[in-house]
């Protein structure tokens, strides 16, 4: 079987298209690269969706944590502490257990039945956990940036008579993003790496539709040879990380375009480990 | 444990719960918390030593050594840690057995990798096939410690190198002006001063290390996650203490355990930072000096 046929069979296997059976013997390098690459679709999906949705919640949480009102500040602080202080691994387990406990036939809300079975599926359940998790980590970064917005900027906004939403939208928010961006880039990289935990904790892979690490482990278990599949996963993630750095670097340049060239902060990759 | 627990089926309410929570398997569960703490206690200094070695190597003026140090640090960048955890454990296990195979069975003719199998001679098995179960567990735990230390050592190397580079150049030049050799400058000036610069990074690393301990479960060690799953799952009336699926409560207990560990570490590290900042030429040290009424 040629490599092109293998790609045709397995390129979208993780989504359920193509050949149903996974290879069982005579594993070729092409099969491993294709299937693991197919699994990467899920890692990218989890990463992008969680990052984009988490961004908005994180902004809200950072504002709440910086708020003067106790009723806004305390819940935000607790939310951030719980999600940053415990392992993501445990968070996945707990979320899965809670979703499994939801009534199987759906919940009645004012006569309408809300289906619940989809929450136990990884695409929704794990995504929800990753969304909350990245929101908490990003919120802490945004909060730190919000605290270090230069005093002169806010005073200038006051002098122009800006208040409330306009002041936030025009002055606080852009500056906060600009200051937080290098740290936020690391958080994004870190989140993509964390997506590999999904199929290890709680959430089962239905019909062997899993992420990159799921297939890598499949091959490592079958061939008892870790020296091929894991470096393939590593290679894919290095490519993904490089793409992220390029993308976030471009955004960083845009956020800092009003500054003098020698004052623009550079992105510094400081990778972090397990969350 | 208690005499009243001899017949669990006759118990009810609090008495039942007391007996349930002190059953043999639960005692093993409590011991697994100790396993996690032991892992942390062993891994942290070993990883720090690896990191120190890596940082010193990266600073070396000898090109191959510097490359080795930098390569070690770059190793963990860009790749999910969990890939390393899965990879290292098998790779280390196979590497050790392969080495023993070369030493103990030189006249073994069959290839080690036969298709899908990894086969070494019986004498090269680690631990030996007839060893008691305890040795297998200890071996697994040791592999886990090495894996954790290798991965976290690379991160510690990054942090320590940053700390070394942050020590003001003037301090080192002054030491050189006093006629100290490079080794003396390193030992007497650089190393004592670098910790305060490395501490924020190391604190962060420690918190991450705590949160990485559930991965022990992936490495096949019977840790708290293993026991929480085991004990929490539905127990039918065949068992002494039947109960429905209680895994959620067990995991919530683990969550609380980790939150407490994190909070306690944060408080202790904050105190340590304050103590180490005393008399240092950093913003925090300067603020302490002013607060103490020193001359500005």
Which of B118, B212, B262 has the CB atom closest to A273's CB atom?
B212
Residues of chain B found within 8 Å of residue A269, distances taken between Cβ atoms = 77
| Contact indicator for B173, B151 with CB cutoff of 8 Å | no
What are the tokens at A11? 């390129």
In a domain, B231, yes or no: yes
In a domain, A130, yes or no: yes
Taking the CA of residue B180 and the nearest CA in chain A, the distance in Å comes to 34
In a domain, A54, yes or no: yes
Helix residue ranges, H only, B60-132: 63-75, 81-104
CATH code of A203's domain: 1.10.3720.10
Residues of chain A found within 8 Å of residue B247, distances taken between Cβ atoms = 93, 97
Residue to mutate among A23, A36, A89, A132, with most B CBs inside 10 A, is A89
Q: What is the largest CA-CA distance in chain B?
A: 82
> Looking at the predicted complex, does its ipTM rise above 0.85?
no
Q: How many CA atoms lie within 13 A of B28 on its CB side?
A: 12
In a domain, A121, yes or no: yes
* Dihedral Cα B124, A217, B147, B219, nearest 10 deg: -80
User: Which residue range is the domain that position B116 belongs to?
Assistant: 42-291
What is the distance between the terminal CA atoms of chain A, rounded to a whole angstrom?
41
Alpha carbon distance B27, B1 (integer Å):
10
What are the tokens at B254? 């683990």
In a domain, A250, yes or no: yes
What residues are paired with A31 via a beta bridge?
Answer: none
Give the A window 104-163 contacts with B, CB below 8 Å: none
Total structural domains within chain A:
1
The pLDDT tens digits for A148-202 are 888 888 899 999 999 889 999 999 999 999 989 888 988 898 899 889 888 877 7
Per-chain mean pLDDT for chain A: 86
| Contact indicator for A261, A206 with CB cutoff of 8 Å | no
The pLDDT tens digits for B39-53 are 899 999 999 999 999
Predicted pLDDT at B267: 93
Residues of chain A found within 8 Å of residue B234, distances taken between Cβ atoms = none
In a domain, A4, yes or no: no
Total structural domains within chain B:
1
Taking the CA of residue B38 and the nearest CA in chain A, the distance in Å comes to 18
The pLDDT tens digits for B98-132 are 888 888 777 777 777 766 667 777 777 777 777 78
What are the tokens at A152? 């002169």
In a domain, A231, yes or no: no
CB contact under 8 A, B218 and A200: yes
Residue with tokens 């257990």: A97
Which of B80, B209, B215 has the CB atom closest to A89's CB atom?
B215
CATH code of B60's domain: 1.10.3720.10
User: Which residue range is the domain that position A125 belongs to?
Assistant: 45-210+243-263
Taking the CA of residue B240 and the nearest CA in chain A, the distance in Å comes to 24
Alpha carbon distance B280, B287 (integer Å):
10
What are the tokens at B206? 């420690």
Strand locations in A106-260 (E): 107-109, 112-114
In a domain, B237, yes or no: yes
CB contact under 8 A, A271 and B78: yes
Predicted pLDDT at A51: 95
In a domain, A24, yes or no: no
Is the Cα torsion angle B204, B207, B209, B214 positive or negative in sign? negative
């Amino acid at each position: 079987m040629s490599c092109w046929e293998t790609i045709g069979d397995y390129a979208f296997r993780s989504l359920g298209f193509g050949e149903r059976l996974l290879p069982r013997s005579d594993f070729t390098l092409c099969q491993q690269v294709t299937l693991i690459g197919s699994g990467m679709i899920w890692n990218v999906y989890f990463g992008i969706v969680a990052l984009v949705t988490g961004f908005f919640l994180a902004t809200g949480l950072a504002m709440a944590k910086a708020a003067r009102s106790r009723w806004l500040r305390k819940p935000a602080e607790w939310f951030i502490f719980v999600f940053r202080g415990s392992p993501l691994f445990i968070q996945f387990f707990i979320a899965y257990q809670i979703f499994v406990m939801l009534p199987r036939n759906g919940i009645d809300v004012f006569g309408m039945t809300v289906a619940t079975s989809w929450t136990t599926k990884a695409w929704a359940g794990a995504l929800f956990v990753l969304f909350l998790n990245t929101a908490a980590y990003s919120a802490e970064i945004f909060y730190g940036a919000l605290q270090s917005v230069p005093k002169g900027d806010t005073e200038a906004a006051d002098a122009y008579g800006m208040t409330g939403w306009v002041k936030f939208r025009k002055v606080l928010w852009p500056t906060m993003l600009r200051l937080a961006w290098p740290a936020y880039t690391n958080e994004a990289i870190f989140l993509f790496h964390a997506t590999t935990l999904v199929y290890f904790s709680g959430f089962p892979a239905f019909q062997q539709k899993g992420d990159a690490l799921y297939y890598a482990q499949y091959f490592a278990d079958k061939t008892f040879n870790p020296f091929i599949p894991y470096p393939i996963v590593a290679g894919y993630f290095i490519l993904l990380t490089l793409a992220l750095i390029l993308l976030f670097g471009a955004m960083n340049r845009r956020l800092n375009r009003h500054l003098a060239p020698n004052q623009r902060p550079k992105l510094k990759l400081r990778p972090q480990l397990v969350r | 444990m208690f005499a009243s627990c001899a017949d669990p089926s006759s118990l009810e309410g609090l008495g039942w719960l007391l007996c349930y929570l002190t059953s043999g398997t639960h005692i093993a569960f409590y011991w697994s918390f100790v396993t996690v703490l032991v892992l942390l206690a062993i891994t942290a200094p070993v990883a720090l030593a690896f990191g120190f070695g890596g940082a010193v190597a990266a600073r070396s003026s000898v090109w191959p050594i510097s490359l080795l140090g930098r390569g070690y640090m770059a190793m963990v960048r860009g790749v999910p840690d969990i890939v390393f955890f899965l990879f290292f454990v098998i790779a280390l296990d196979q590497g050790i057995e392969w080495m023993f195979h070369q030493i103990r069975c030189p006249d073994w003719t069959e290839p080690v990798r036969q298709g899908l199998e990894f086969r070494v001679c019986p004498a090269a098995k680690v631990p030996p096939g007839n060893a008691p179960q305890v040795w297998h567990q200890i071996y697994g735990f040791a592999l886990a410690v090495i894996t954790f230390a290798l991965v976290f050592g690379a991160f510690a190397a990054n942090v320590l190198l940053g700390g070394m580079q942050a020590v003001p150049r003037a301090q080192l030049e002054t030491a050189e002006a006093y006629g100290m050799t490079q080794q003396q400058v390193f030992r007497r000036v650089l190393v004592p001063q670098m910790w305060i610069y490395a501490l924020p990074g190391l604190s962060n690393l420690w918190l991450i290390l705590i949160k990485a301990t559930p991965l022990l479960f992936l490495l096949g060690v019977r840790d708290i996650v293993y026991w929480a799953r085991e004990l929490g799952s539905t127990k039918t009336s065949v068992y002494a203490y039947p109960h429905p699926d209680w895994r959620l409560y067990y995991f919530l207990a683990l969550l609380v355990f980790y939150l407490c560990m994190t909070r306690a570490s944060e408080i202790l590290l904050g105190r340590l930072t304050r103590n180490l900042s005393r008399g240092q030429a950093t913003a925090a040290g300067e603020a302490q000096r002013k607060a103490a009424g020193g001359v500005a």
